[in-house]
C-alpha cells in the first residue's frame, strides 16, 4: 500500500527538493517532467534554481497520479492533463469562475517573487505563527477541489 503524500505547507514558493518530498518523486524526475508537460513552468532564479508555486505542486501531484497510480504513459498523461485544463476552462466560461488550482499557469512578477522569498525566509526564522481565517478558507477550498477530482464523474 502506497503511503499518503504529506500536506502542502502554506507558503508561496517551494524548492525542487521540497516539491520532490511533497510529491514523492526525485528532483531529476521533476526536471524531466518540465520538458514533457508544458504547463509545468517553475520560476527560475540564480543558477537556474527552480521555485515552484502551490498550483504547480498540485499539478505535479496530478501528473504523478496519472503516471504512477492510473498507469498512463507520458503521452497519455499529457493528453489527459490537457483535457483537464480544457474542461476547467469550459467550467469557468459556464459561470463558475473559481479555478481548480494547478490547471493554469500564473504569471509571476519578479519584484513580487523577491518580496515573497524574503517573507518566506523571515518566516522560517520566526516561531510558528497562527493560521488566519483566509488561510483556512483557502485550505477548505483546496480540499473541496481535491474531493471533486477524486469523485468519479457520472
Segment 144-151 mean pLDDT: 77
- State the pLDDT at residue 105: 44
The answer to whether residues 58 and 101 touch, using CB atoms and an 8 Å cutoff, is: yes
As a whole number, mean pLDDT of residues 50-62 equals 94
**pLDDT confidence of residue 7:** 93
Percent of the chain with pLDDT over 70: 72
Q: Could you tell me which residues come within 8 angstroms of residue 70 by beta carbon, excluding any fewer than 6 positions away?
A: none
Domain boundaries, the chain: 13-107+130-150
13-107+130-150: CATH architecture: Orthogonal Bundle (1.10)
Q: Are 56 and 42 in contact (CB under 8 A)?
A: yes
The predicted pLDDT at position 104 comes to 45
Mean pLDDT, residues 131-143 taken together:
76
106 within 8 A of 65, measured Cβ to Cβ: no
pTM score: 0.62
Share of the chain above pLDDT 90, in %: 43
pLDDT value at position 131? 55
What is the tens place of the pLDDT at every residue in 59-106? 999 999 999 999 999 999 999 988 988 888 888 788 755 555 444 444
Higher-confidence residue of 122 and 29: namely: 29
The pLDDT-based confidence of 134 (bands split at 50, 70, 90) is confident
Given a cut of 90, whether residue 136 has pLDDT beyond it is no
CA distance 90 to 103: 12
Rounded mean pLDDT of 4-32? 94
* pLDDT at residue number 114: 61
Amino acid at each position: 500500500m502506497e503511503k499518503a503524500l504529506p500536506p502542502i505547507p502554506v507558503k508561496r514558493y517551494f524548492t525542487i527538493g521540497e516539491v520532490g518530498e511533497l510529491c514523492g518523486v526525485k528532483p531529476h524526475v521533476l526536471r524531466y517532467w518540465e520538458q514533457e508537460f508544458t504547463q509545468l513552468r517553475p520560476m527560475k532564479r540564480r543558477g537556474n534554481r527552480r521555485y515552484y508555486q502551490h498550483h504547480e505542486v498540485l499539478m505535479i501531484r496530478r501528473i504523478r497520479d496519472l503516471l504512477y497510480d492510473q498507469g498512463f504513459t507520458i503521452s497519455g498523461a499529457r493528453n489527459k492533463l490537457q483535457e483537464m485544463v480544457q474542461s476547467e476552462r469550459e467550467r469557468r466560461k459556464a459561470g463558475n469562475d473559481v479555478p481548480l488550482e494547478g490547471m493554469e499557469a500564473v504569471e509571476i512578477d519578479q519584484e513580487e517573487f523577491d518580496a515573497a522569498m524574503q517573507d518566506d525566509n523571515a518566516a522560517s526564522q520566526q516561531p510558528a505563527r497562527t493560521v488566519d481565517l483566509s488561510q483556512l478558507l483557502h485550505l477548505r477550498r483546496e480540499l473541496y477541489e481535491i474531493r471533486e477530482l477524486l469523485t468519479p464523474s457520472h
